[in-house]
Amino acid sequence: MAAHAFDLMTLLDAPGVGPGRVRKLLKKWQGEPDSPLLDNHLLHQALTASQVAALPASRERVKRHWEKLEQQKVHVLSVVDPRYPQALRRTLGEDSPVLLLCTGSLDLLGTTSVGFCGSREASEKGLATAWHSAELLAGEGINIVSGFASGVDMNAHRAALACGGTTTVVLAEGILRFRVKKEIREEWDENRTLVVSEFGPNLPWSVNHAMQRNRTICGLSRAIVLIEARTTGGSIQAGRDCLKLGLPLFAAVYEGAPESAAGNEELLAHGARRLMKSRLADRPNIRPILDAIANPARAADEPQGQVAQLGLL
């Protein structure tokens, strides 16, 4: 599997060879699994002459990266690796990442997870909602999945770890660029965390990577909690992607909604479910999230008898 993943990483490194072309090549290659991928005659059918000519240089670059990946105990999983998360393949289908580069607890790839998204500049109420929601879900044994930005992402990760739970960080850059940020250093526990990247080992962060990363968060999760989204940007697009993928999306409903949550209403109007506050506990009501995980077809609205027990966040 390692040799196979190395070949795929080399192909993805080659100029002009994107994930779509590699997926098509991989489908053809699976009919000849005993043939080395990089030395296969299919390459000359699927790639241009200049792309084939560029492969030796790509191989050398990947070889240097591979040595660093091994030093940092990074696992490289291809889409045909049995350790590759079935939930991701099931949700994203042919859009699943060709490779996942992972460090930390690989067991979390198969754990029931809920994703979090929201503004880097969330309100104090939003940050508190992210913290309490993640804390309550982690307390129920749910793994928390999010990006690694300041604001909502960081609060969700920190809350999960602070209460003894687990969390998965999904990067919008290469995994060799990953560093534990000071905001979470106190809570960080490599035995209860997983760091995942679908990008070349040393690629920098980009807006396109962040958008793509958000779809991968959806693919790794059984439901998504959207804390605050503006009417444009990555958070509301993550919510739209979640709805298109048919995943339960829970958008926070605030009393005196902050400007940074203006997009929540749009998502609620298009099928998101309401994340509200339990009046009794004075905390976010996570019961509908747990119910949706157990039964994704569950209706969006709370049973009539429970509405009076809920309030705006």
Question: Is the pLDDT score of 190 beyond 60?
Answer: yes
CATH (domain of 307) = 3.40.50.450
pLDDT band with cut points at 50, 70 and 90 for residue 157: very high
In a domain, 125, yes or no: yes
Residues 135 and 258 reside in one and the same domain: yes
Per-residue pLDDT tens over the stretch 215-272: 999 999 999 999 999 999 999 999 999 999 999 999 999 988 788 889 999 999 999 9
- End-of-domain residue from the set 21, 51, 71: 71
- Please name the residues in contact with 249: beta carbons below 8 A apart, sequence gap of 6 or more: 223, 224, 226, 239, 242, 243, 267, 271, 272, 273
pTM exceeding 0.85: yes
In angstroms, how far is the first alpha carbon of the chain from the final one?
A: 48
In single-letter form, the type of residue at position 189 comes to D
Residues 20 and 165 reside in one and the same domain: no
In a domain, 123, yes or no: yes
Q: Locate 49 and state its tokens.
A: 């002459």
In a domain, 267, yes or no: yes
Distances (CA, A) of 152 to 22, 158, 183, 190, 218: 34, 10, 12, 21, 16
Distance CA 132, CA 46 (A): 50
Q: What is the pLDDT of residue 304?
A: 42
Across the chain, where does the E strand assignment appear? Answer: 75-78, 99-104, 113-117, 143-146, 167-170, 193-197, 223-226, 249-252, 273-275, 277-278, 283-284, 310-311
**Is the distance from CB of 35 to CB of 3 less than 8 angstroms?**
no
DSSP for 11-58 reads HHHSTT--HHHHHHHHHHHTTSTTS-STT-THHHHHS-HHHHHHHHHH
Q: What is the pLDDT of residue 306?
A: 58
In a domain, 80, yes or no: no
Per-residue pLDDT tens over the stretch 21-76: 888 888 877 655 566 677 667 777 788 889 989 999 999 999 999 999 999 999 99
Residues 50 and 171 reside in one and the same domain: no
Q: Do β-strands 113-117 and 99-104 pair in parallel, antiparallel, or remain unpaired?
A: unpaired
- The percentage of residues in the chain with a pLDDT greater than 70, rounded to a whole number, is 93
State mean pLDDT over 186-214. 96
Choose between 112 and 278: higher pLDDT.
112
Residues 198 and 50 reside in one and the same domain: no
Q: Do β-strands 223-226 and 193-197 pair in parallel, antiparallel, or remain unpaired?
A: unpaired
Residues 59 and 117 reside in one and the same domain: no
Pick the closest to residue 289 from 236, 226, 196 (CA basis): 226
**Is the distance from CB of 242 to CB of 218 less than 8 angstroms?**
yes
In a domain, 244, yes or no: yes
In a domain, 246, yes or no: yes
User: For residue 22, how far is the Cα from the chain centroid?
Assistant: 21
Distance CA 286, CA 296 (A): 15
- End-of-domain residue from the set 71, 86, 117: 71
Residues 49 and 117 reside in one and the same domain: no
Residues 61 and 121 reside in one and the same domain: no
Residues 61 and 143 reside in one and the same domain: no
Domain count, the chain: 2
Q: What is the pLDDT of residue 297?
A: 64
**Is the distance from CB of 249 to CB of 226 less than 8 angstroms?**
yes
Q: What is the pLDDT of residue 165?
A: 98
Residues 153 and 25 reside in one and the same domain: no
Give the residue numbers spanning the domain of 287. Answer: 106-311
In a domain, 78, yes or no: no
Question: Is the pLDDT score of 194 beyond 90?
Answer: yes
Per-residue pLDDT tens over the stretch 262-291: 999 999 999 999 999 988 888 999 999 999
Distance CA 212, CA 175 (A): 15
Residues 208 and 150 reside in one and the same domain: yes
Q: Locate 107 and state its tokens.
A: 């067991």
State mean pLDDT over 180-193. 97
**Is the distance from CB of 173 to CB of 199 less than 8 angstroms?**
yes
Residues 154 and 292 reside in one and the same domain: yes
Query: What b-and-e string marks burial along 220-256, b requiring 16 or more CB atoms within 10 Å of the CB?
Result: bbbbbbbbbbbeebbbbbbbbbbbebebbbbbbbbee
State mean pLDDT over 70-91. 93
- End-of-domain residue from the set 44, 71, 98: 71
In a domain, 94, yes or no: no
State mean pLDDT over 127-149. 97
Question: Is the pLDDT score of 2 beyond 80?
Answer: no
- The percentage of residues in the chain with a pLDDT greater than 90, rounded to a whole number, is 76
State mean pLDDT over 1-13. 86
Residues 258 and 120 reside in one and the same domain: yes
Kindly state the DSSP code that residue 262 receives in the 8-state scheme: H
Distance CA 55, CA 13 (A): 8
DSSP for 85-109 reads -HHHHHHHGGGS-SEEEEEE-GGGG
